[in-house]
């Protein structure tokens, strides 16, 4: 055999050997995943914040950290990442993506999800029915079609309010008519009580009671009580009762009133609640103003603002624990927890560190992380 033929045979052998080596490496990596020798990528953390808000919808901005515990990057063509945000088991937003490339360690994926504001009444109703408690739950999953398995991540956070607690009072407050026809105070309110009525997605009733004392020698008749309710100056409800109450001389009588909030206005309130220029981000002021119409002994009627009974309460929520990474807040006072599927926690501890986190999100958020030559496809 001549020298050229020998060189041709050797060259062909080298090509076959190189191709065989590549196939062995790729097959070994795929087999290692199948056998569980290499780790399955998982969701390590989810960090949500509220973005832009309009009258119709609210933007939720999400940074979702995917952890790759392997020493090489991976092209996750067959992997999907999905997440859901729920409040008291009511789905508020849902997002996800398929076909992601990540490097080793942690990679941060940026999402934007639209939440329709008409979901707010259903959440509000559940919050009040649950004794003013809300459980915010964030569920995320990284699932591989090829590996046939995925790892779940769950983050929960509790929110509590006490909107009516301060309305219960035994403080004595005078009712002054400011009229030359009668002597002030015409009445005293010695006690106030309030509780939520039968809340529905259409309306929020508040059952109220006032213990009224008449210090005068003549009886007085309360012919009407009216109210106006606002939240961040958004008119939530107004009304009056036509039931008459006779307050005998130097005696007390319990006057009852049900105020009603129109839940169709909650989406308008929600916009102001997230607007930091109104009061602060996720801060609102609930205000209930009252007036009373009193009929005196001679039959004259006086409309008297009950300024001393004006009720104000601050509503504060921090739905996503904004400004604090969920991985660092599991021991916070809110009692938040993180849990992982596949038999263990999904905290990024398997060799990953903050220094290894890739935050290379593009404007459309389609791909983040390393695109080096060492990325192996699944």
Among 299, 316, 333, the domain boundary falls at 316
134 and 212, same domain (yes or no):
no
- Residue 66: pLDDT band by 50, 70, 90 thresholds? confident
Q: What is the pLDDT of residues 156-203, one digit of tens each?
A: 999 999 999 999 999 999 999 988 878 899 999 999 999 999 999 999
pLDDT for residue 61 is more than 80? yes
300 and 213, same domain (yes or no):
yes
- The percentage of residues in the chain with a pLDDT greater than 70, rounded to a whole number, is 71
- The percentage of residues in the chain with a pLDDT greater than 90, rounded to a whole number, is 52
284 and 336, same domain (yes or no):
no
Helix (H, G, I), strand (E, B) or coil at 185: coil
263 and 208, same domain (yes or no):
yes
CATH number of the domain within which 122 lies? 2.60.40.10
The count of structural domains within the chain is 3
66 and 155, same domain (yes or no):
yes
State residue 145's pLDDT score.
63
Among 316, 331, 349, the domain boundary falls at 316
Q: What's the chain's average pLDDT?
A: 78
184 and 281, same domain (yes or no):
yes
User: Can you say whether the dihedral through the CA atoms of 70, 71, 76, 81 is positive or negative?
Assistant: positive
State residue 38's pLDDT score.
56
- Give dist(CA 138, CA 145) in Å, integer: 23
Average the pLDDT over 111-134 and give the result.
94
178 and 228, same domain (yes or no):
yes
Domain span at 12: 1-34
- Residue 150: pLDDT band by 50, 70, 90 thresholds? low
State residue 79's pLDDT score.
67
Distances from the Cα of 152 to the Cα of 73, 137, 174, angstroms: 21, 13, 60
150 and 20, same domain (yes or no):
no
306 and 332, same domain (yes or no):
no
Among 270, 294, 316, the domain boundary falls at 316
Q: What is the pLDDT of residues 201-247, one digit of tens each?
A: 999 999 999 999 999 999 999 999 999 999 999 999 999 987 899 99
109 and 225, same domain (yes or no):
no
Q: What is the pLDDT of residues 301-355, one digit of tens each?
A: 999 999 999 999 999 999 998 844 333 333 333 434 444 444 333 333 333 333 3
97 and 228, same domain (yes or no):
no
138 and 153, same domain (yes or no):
yes
Two tokens at 158? 């509790």
Closest of 296, 321, 331, 286 to residue 136, by C-alpha: 321
DSSP string, 251-304: -EEEEEEEEEEEGGGHHHHHHHHH-TTTSBTTEEEEEEEEEEEEE-TTS-EEEE
Of 25 and 188, more confident = 188
């Amino acid at each position: 055999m001549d020298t050229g033929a020998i060189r041709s045979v050797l060259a062909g052998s080298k090509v076959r050997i190189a191709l065989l080596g590549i196939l062995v490496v790729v097959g070994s990596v795929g087999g290692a995943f199948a056998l569980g020798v290499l780790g399955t990528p998982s969701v390590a953390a989810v960090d949500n914040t509220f973005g832009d808000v309009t009258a119709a919808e609210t933007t939720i901005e999400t940074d979702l950290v995917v952890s790759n515990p392997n020493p090489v990057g991976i092209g996750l063509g067959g992997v999907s990442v999905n997440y859901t945000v729920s409040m008291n088991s009511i789905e508020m937003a849902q997002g996800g993506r398929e076909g992601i490339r990540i490097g080793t360690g942690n990679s941060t994926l940026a999402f934007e999800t639209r939440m329709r504001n008409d979901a707010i009444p259903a959440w509000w109703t559940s919050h009040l029915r649950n004794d003013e408690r809300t459980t915010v739950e964030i569920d995320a999953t990284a699932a591989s079609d090829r590996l046939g398995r995925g790892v779940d991540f769950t983050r929960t956070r509790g929110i509590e309010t006490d909107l009516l607690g301060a309305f219960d009072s035994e403080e004595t407050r005078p009712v002054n008519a400011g009229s030359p026809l009668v002597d002030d105070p015409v009445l005293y309110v010695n006690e106030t009580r309030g509780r939520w009525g039968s809340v529905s997605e259409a309306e929020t009733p508040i059952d109220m009671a006032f213990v009224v004392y008449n210090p005068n020698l003549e009886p007085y008749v309360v012919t009407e009580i009216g109210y106006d309710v606002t939240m961040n100056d958004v008119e939530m409800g107004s009304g009056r009762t036509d039931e008459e109450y006779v307050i005998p001389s130097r005696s007390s009588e319990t006057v009852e009133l049900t105020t009603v909030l129109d839940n169709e206005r909650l989406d308008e309130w929600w916009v102001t609640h997230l607007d930091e220029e109104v009061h602060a981000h996720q801060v609102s002021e609930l205000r209930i103003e009252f007036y009373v119409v009193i009929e005196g002994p001679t039959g004259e009627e006086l409309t008297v603002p009950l300024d001393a009974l004006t009720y104000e309460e601050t509503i504060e929520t921090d739905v996503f624990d904004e400004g604090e990474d969920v991985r660092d807040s599991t021991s916070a006072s809110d009692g938040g927890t993180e849990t992982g599927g596949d038999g263990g926690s999904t905290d990024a501890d398997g060799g990953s560190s903050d220094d290894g986190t890739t935050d290379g999100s593009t404007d459309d958020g389609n791909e983040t992380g390393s695109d080096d030559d060492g990325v192996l496809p699944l």
